[in-house]
Amino acid sequence: MSSAPRPRTPRSQLDEPTFPGPCGAGLSPASITRMTAQWQHEATAFGKRDLSQVDYVYLWVDGIPLKVRLEQEKLCLLVMLGVRADGRKELVALADGYRESTESWADLLRDCRRRGMRAPVLAVGDGALGFWSALREVFPETREQRCWFHTQSNVLAVLPKSAHPGALAAMKEIIGAEGIDKAQVAIAAFERDYGAKYPKAVAKITGDADVLLEYFRYPAEHGVHLRTTNPIESTFATVRLRTRVTKGPGSRAAGMAMAYTLIESAQSRWRAVNAPQLVALVRAGALFHKGTLLERPVDITPEPSPDTPVSEVA
């Protein structure tokens, strides 16, 4: 004897489907929508906040592409992280734009200036960014430092793989030099070793030598922070992982909101730069030679060469 068919549960009584993965486990589509709307509201408020009471002495910038699930074109986040005068790192701005576009970066910088942002002492970023032309227009007094991580990648891209180990070792000699004078000697050695066969690789360093070595003019303790955009790269490793797990945000606005929320959450775990007490001195215009604070200008007077004749005093 066959059993009677089980009655169907009305659709209204069924649980709503949930989103798999760590970013949405156990959350219904309605909950996801409400949460995304809240993130977007918070990101919008962040982008309108007053900047006149905060002093960003150092600034890292980059353009980070993120895939948007429901759109063909990738979202590019224009990111600015700063170091406050007390040495703490902080998200300064996040905007949707084009990485190589001067106008996208100029719009972002003008908006920050309009909200009271003071010109940073030093900005660090990749040389391919449209940021630099925008910076010279909006904050012309800010000094420039090119990212060594991007520069190394660009140099290796035009070298055969067999030359990579030697070129990397030579670039490490430049980066790890005791001071700017030793770094310039190391650049000359790089040009001598690779210039004849690989002029394009050498030009990527010699053409930007001034802005690749700018970090030597700041405290030695800050050098490790200032020669690359690693603070942005390491932060966005988490953002990329989360967006990959959720197969990308559904829209550009949702992508912006998700990135802001993840960065804001991570920000509480960021440590201050080394020797944070020196950041305020940098803002005050203190001079550093070979990474050491100068007490008197005479401290940078070069020692006489053994070949230099010493004048006799009558």
Which residues contact residue 74 at a Cβ distance below 8 angstroms, ignoring those fewer than 6 apart?
Answer: 65, 66, 67, 68
Average pLDDT over residues 87-95: 96
**pLDDT at 212 > cutoff 90:** yes
Q: Please provide the average confidence, as pLDDT, over all residues in the chain.
A: 83
Model confidence, pTM? 0.80
First to last CA, the chain: 130
| Structure confidence at residue 72 (pLDDT) | 52
| Structure confidence at residue 250 (pLDDT) | 53
**pLDDT at 300 > cutoff 80:** no
Average pLDDT over residues 99-126: 95
pLDDT in tens, 233-291: 888 776 665 555 444 445 677 778 888 888 888 888 899 999 999 999 999 999 998 89
Pick from 50-59, 140-149, 290-299: least confident: 290-299
Beta-carbon count within 10 A of 51 CB:
18
Q: Return the sign of the alpha-carbon dihedral for residues 274, 266, 118, 139.
A: positive
**Rounded Cα–Cα distance for residues 294 and 271 (Å):** 27
